[in-house]
Amino acid sequence: MNITTYVNYEKYQQANTQLMTQHPQGVPVVFMGDSITEFWPYQRPAFFAQNYFICRGIRGQVSHQMLLRFREDVLNLKPQVVVILAGTNDIAQNSGAIHVPRIADNIFSMAELARAQGASVILCSVLPASDFPWRSGLQPVQRIVELNQLIKQYAVQQQLPYVDYYAAMNDGKGGLRVPDFTSAEDLVHPNAEGYAVMESLIAPMIASVLEARSNALV
C-alpha cells in the first residue's frame, strides 16, 4: 500500500505550505478529524473564517491515519490549540475491526504529541451514531460509549478540556437526533443545526484555553 495515498498527505500540502509561510509563528487553532470535521466549514463557514480556525479533517479516515499525518497537518502549523475529534470511522471498521482501547491510544498519542510541542489540547467525544449507512449492522452504540468513557477518563487524568458532544446531541438511544441534528438518510454527519450545537460547546472552551495561555505569558 502506498503510504502517501493511504494517509492522504497531499490533501492539505499546499495550504499547509502557505500557512507556514504567511504565519511562521503559528496559528491559533487547528481542528483534526474525519469527515465530521471536514464538512463543518462547508455547513458553517463563518465559524471557521471569523475565528481563523484551521480545519484538517479528511473523510473516511481512522485514528491511525490521523496520527500518521499529525505532524504534517497539525504540528508543523505550530498551533496554540489543537481540537481532536476522532474515532467514528474506527468504530465503523473502515480499516477493519479494531479494539476500542487501541482507538483511544491513537487519540491519546495525538494529544501527547501536541502537548510535547507546547500546544494546548481539547479532546472531544465521538458523536452519537446508531448505524452507519455505508456499513450497516455493526450496532455501534455501546462501542462509542466505551470509547467516550476512555477519552473522558484520560482528559480528567491529564487535566485536559473534554467536550461532550455525545451527551448534547444523542436521541436517548445512542443515535444522533433526527431530524434535529442529522437526516434519516445520514445518521452520522451533523446538519447545520447540529454543527451550531457543537459550536456552542467548543467555542467557549477554545476561548477559555486561549485566555489561560495568554495569562500565563503575562
pLDDT, tens digit only, all 218 positions of the chain: 688 899 999 999 999 999 999 999 999 999 999 999 999 999 999 999 999 999 999 999 999 999 999 999 999 999 999 999 999 999 999 999 999 999 999 999 999 999 999 999 999 999 999 999 999 999 999 999 999 999 999 999 999 999 999 999 999 999 999 999 999 999 999 999 999 999 999 999 999 999 999 998 76
Listed in sequence order, the residues at least 6 apart from 90 whose beta carbon sits closer than 8 Å to its beta carbon are 62, 63, 64, 98, 103, 106, 147
Q: What pLDDT score was predicted for residue 218?
A: 65
In this structure, what are the phi and psi dihedrals at residue 94, rounded to the nearest 5 degrees?
-65, -25
> What is the model's pLDDT at position 75?
98
Task: Examine residue 104 and state whether it is found in any structural domain, yes or no.
Answer: yes
Cβ 83 vs Cβ 125: under 8 Å: no
Residue 21 resides in a domain: no
Which residue range(s) make up the domain with 98?
A: 3-9+26-217
Residue 83, domain member (yes or no):
yes
β-bridge mates for residue 122, sequence order: 83
Q: What is the pLDDT of residue 3?
A: 86
The answer as to whether 18 is a domain residue is no
Q: Which three cell numbers stand for residue 56?
A: 484538517
Instruction: Give the pLDDT confidence score for residue 217 in this predicted structure.
Output: 76
Residue 19 lies in a domain: no
Evaluate whether residue 133 is within a structural domain: yes
What pLDDT does 1 receive?
A: 66
Q: Is residue 16 part of a domain?
A: no
Structural domains counted in the chain: 1
Task: In whole angstroms, give the CA distance from residue 36 to residue 96.
Answer: 20
CATH code for position 119: 3.40.50.1110
The confidence score (pLDDT) of residue 56 equals: 98
In a domain, 59, yes or no: yes
